[in-house]
Structures are given as C-alpha cells and as structure tokens.
Amino acid sequence: MAERSPAGKRLLSWSLDVPLRALLFVLGSLAMTLPRAVELRLGPPLGRFILRLGLFRPRIAHDNIRRCLPELGPAGWQALLRRNYEHYGVLFFEFLHFFAPARAHYRDYARRIARLEGYENWRRAHDQGRGVLFVASHVGFWEMLAAAGGLAGMPLTVVTTVLKPAWLHEKIAAARRTTGVAHAYHPGSMPAVLRALRRGDSVAFMNDQYAPPPMGVPARFFGVEVATLAAVGALARRTGAAVVPVSSYRDRDGLVRVVVEPELDVSACINDTPAVTGLVAAKVEGWVRSHPEQWLWIHRRFKNVDWSLKTPEEAHA
C-alpha cells in the first residue's frame, strides 16, 4: 500500500478532528447544565457499563489490584475493580468541563466542587523563599490539585506533557490557565521548572507513574521495586526547595478534597536522590491505600517488575 502524502495525512487528521471537536463541544455544553448531583448519580452506572464492555484496561487494573492488595481476595478484588470503574464514570463527567464553551466555566466549576485544606502548610514552605516542590498522585480528580491551589493564590506551575492534537492541548491548557495555573512541558521542562523555583514559586509533579531511567530510579512501592520519577529528589538537593505532599479525594458528598500536608522532612537524605524518591513513593502508597477505589489502577505502573521479590509478609499483608 502506498504511503499517504503529507497532504493526505493532513486531510485524514482534519476529517477525524472535526467530528471529535464537535462532539466535545456538545458534551462540554451539556456538562455546563448538569448539576453536580446528576454527575455523581450518572457516573457510577456509566463506569459499570464500561467495565462490562471490557473497555479501558480492566485486565491491567484487576492484575494491579490483585498483586498490590492480595489480602482482599478474589471477591474483594472484583468489588474494588467495580468501584474503581464507577470512579472513572464520575471522572468522565468531571473532565467534560474542560470543553465547556464558556471560557470561565472550568474556573467556576473548580470553585464549586473543590475544597482546599492545609493552605497554612504551603504558606510555611513558601515563606522559606526557595520554592515549593509539590508531590502528587492520580488519586481522586487530580486536576483539582492544581486548580484549587491556583485559585487560592499559589503561584503554581504543573509539569505535564504536550497533548495531541494541538487544539486539544490548547483547550485543556487554556482551562487550567483560568485557575491561575502555568505549565512546564516535558521532555524539556527543566528550564521552566528552575525559573519558577528561583522566583519562589511552586512546581507540581505527579509521582505515581512509571518513569524509566534516566528520569526514574527504583523505589519501593507496594512491596516491589519499581521505576519512579526521581526529579523531586534531585531538584530538592539542587535548589533547597521544600517538598510538600498534596493529595485529593472525592468525599461522600462529591466534594473534591485537596489536602496540602506538612513539608516532607528530607533533610536526613537530601544528598541521596533514591532515598528521597522512596519517601515520596511511600507517601503515594499511603494515599492509594486510603482511597484505593479512586486511584488510576489502569496505568501500567509496574512494568518490568518481578513480583516474586515480595517478601512473604508483604505478600500477605
């Protein structure tokens, strides 16, 4: 088969983009009209339907749950998987607000559904004057981690990736900017990160995804050594920035609780990047164990992991 010309590729991309943009416009417009209670009511059955169809990596999610939480047993694994997909159903409605046609809608939505706790912990770290390194995870509706901080007046940069196509990337970035959040894009994010820290600003990293070398180093997570982002430890050593954990979860009333914890004490291991990375991984594991139904179990977090290296105590915790 002959390879498509550049013009042909552009035409194909355009033919796919147009219906997707139209669909997201319609869904974003619909999201503007939905009361929060309706999102919370419709999300769980949508998630269960997706699970029944076998969509969005249920085998990976089940395998991760089974290996990380063996103490739950088969019935517990299946129950947690179901609750996890119910969470994804709610996430679907939450993410639609990025595509609302009204420019200020995402900001107003974040103000309505998110509550920030522990602002004073950020303030103490910020007032040291060397910048703040937020460590975070994909528990709860993680976009509110940045939105709630930005709306509270934190000068905040999130480290993220460039999305494709470009119009989708810009739509999401523009929505985040309405909450006062700036971006640093990797690969190549380090100059922007260092500039932000030199200004005394805060920079947020997601610390629960697979990160192969040289970005990542092995860290203990659910009883096994797995490649984990090492940027926070290296930056803390280089800049003296405070390391501050921040987590989120959706409570029973549907409010997204964003919790800024006290600064993580890394002074004893500041020159040991793998040790700092291990402290961060332990913090993330605690969040996942507290709200396992709201973590991103569908992510291939445990690539190249030898689960036989778990100790008997860990395997039957």
Residue 62 domain flag:
yes
Report field, pTM of the whole predicted structure over 0.85: yes
Residue 263 domain flag:
yes
Number of domains in the chain: 1
Please list the pLDDT of the chain residue by residue as tens digits (317 residues). Answer: 445 556 444 544 545 678 889 999 999 999 999 999 999 999 999 999 999 999 999 999 999 999 999 999 999 999 999 999 999 999 999 999 999 999 899 999 999 999 999 999 999 999 999 999 999 999 999 999 999 999 999 999 999 999 888 899 999 999 999 999 999 998 889 999 999 999 999 999 999 999 999 899 999 999 999 999 999 999 999 999 999 999 999 999 999 999 999 999 999 999 999 999 999 999 999 999 999 999 999 999 999 888 887 754 555 45
List, as one string, the DSSP characters of the chain.
-PPPPHHHHHHHHHHHHHHHHHHHHHHHHHHHH--HHHHHHHHHHHHHHHHHTT-S-HHHHHHHHHHH-GGGHHHHHHHHHHHHHHHHHHHHHHHHGGG-SSTTHHHHHHHHHEEEE-HHHHHHHHTTSS-EEEEE-SSSSTHHHHHHHHHTT--EEEEEE--SSHHHHHHHHHHHHTTTEEEEEESS-HHHHHHHHHTT-EEEEE-SSB--TTTEEEEEETTEEEEEE-HHHHHHHHH-PEEEEEEEEE-TTS-EEEEEPPPP--GGGTT-HHHHHHHHHHHHHHHHHHSGGGS-TTS-TTTT--GGGS-HHHHT-
Residue 4 domain flag:
no
Residue 96 domain flag:
yes
Residue 2 domain flag:
no
Give the residue numbers spanning the domain of 299. Answer: 13-315
Residue 118 domain flag:
yes
